[in-house]
Amino acid sequence: MRARFHCRILAALAVLAASGCVARPPTIAHVHLGHALTGVHVTPGQEGYLLVAEERAAAIQDLARKAAAGSELDTIKTEVAAAVKSTVSDDEFGLKHSLVQASNHVSFAATSEDASANVRTAAPKFAADIVRVVERCDLIGLLGKDVAASKSTEEARVLAGEIAKLAGQNLNGEDANGDGIVGGNPREYGMKQLRTELDQMIAREDPPYRTVDQFYLFNLVKLPNGRWVFDKLARGGNIDGYK
């Protein structure tokens, strides 16, 4: 038992030494940002929440387009059900859940003691700017229920077309005010505009943001007193339910 404990410590030290991060660990704020942008231990493929959201947004559009072009009711329902699941499922890290988690982690970064003024300013704006995507996700969920209850192929196809339209807007934004500019304001944002917003925030960081090493991404823990620290035993989780 003691030997195994010592091996864990040695393994953790080896990871730190190999990464060259012993002397200069990332700020806690940047690790939270890394969970949104790069990786986190709970997601499929351990990808960052924003990456998962972007992948889901693209997949939803593809599924909805196939459904809208379908000729059989059962096939349309199957494609729409898959699109809805990829949109609103928490357990499967749907678009809505993944995007909200990305925003949460940007907010965690902003409330960290070592957060820059840039991050503190940008976090509440990002949280407000995801609202339209979340609203579209909820609409897709409602339309999906209508498709599931439909007994008409034509009706289901029309509804699937509406879902495809919303899915496209979630991916690329929309021109709601008719000014010829897609995603010109937050009420028109999709994932494309939200990604740009975060990229611009990262570009403003001083000292510069660097991609966070996996050790730090997967071993940030919150103590009962609310303080964030790195788990030197590299157990890959959080003792206080951090996700």
Of the two residues 6 and 168, the one the predictor is more confident about is: 168
- Degrees, nearest 5: CA angle 96-98-100: 65
Q: What whole-number distance in Å separates Cα of residue 95 and Cα of residue 68?
A: 20
Residue 231 has pLDDT above 70, yes or no: yes
Q: What whole-number distance in Å separates Cα of residue 143 and Cα of residue 129?
A: 23
Domain residue ranges of the chain, discontinuous segments joined by +: 1-26+213-243, 45-209
Q: Which residues pair with 220 in a beta bridge?
A: 230
The tens digit of pLDDT for each residue in 72-92 reads 999 999 999 999 999 999 999
Helix-helix angle 153-172:73-88, to 10 degrees? 30
For residue 3, what pLDDT is reported? 46
pTM of the predicted structure, to 2 decimals: 0.85
For residue 183, what pLDDT is reported? 95
Please give the average per-residue pLDDT across 198-218, as a whole number: 93
Task: Give alpha helix (H) positions in 20-48.
Answer: 28-37
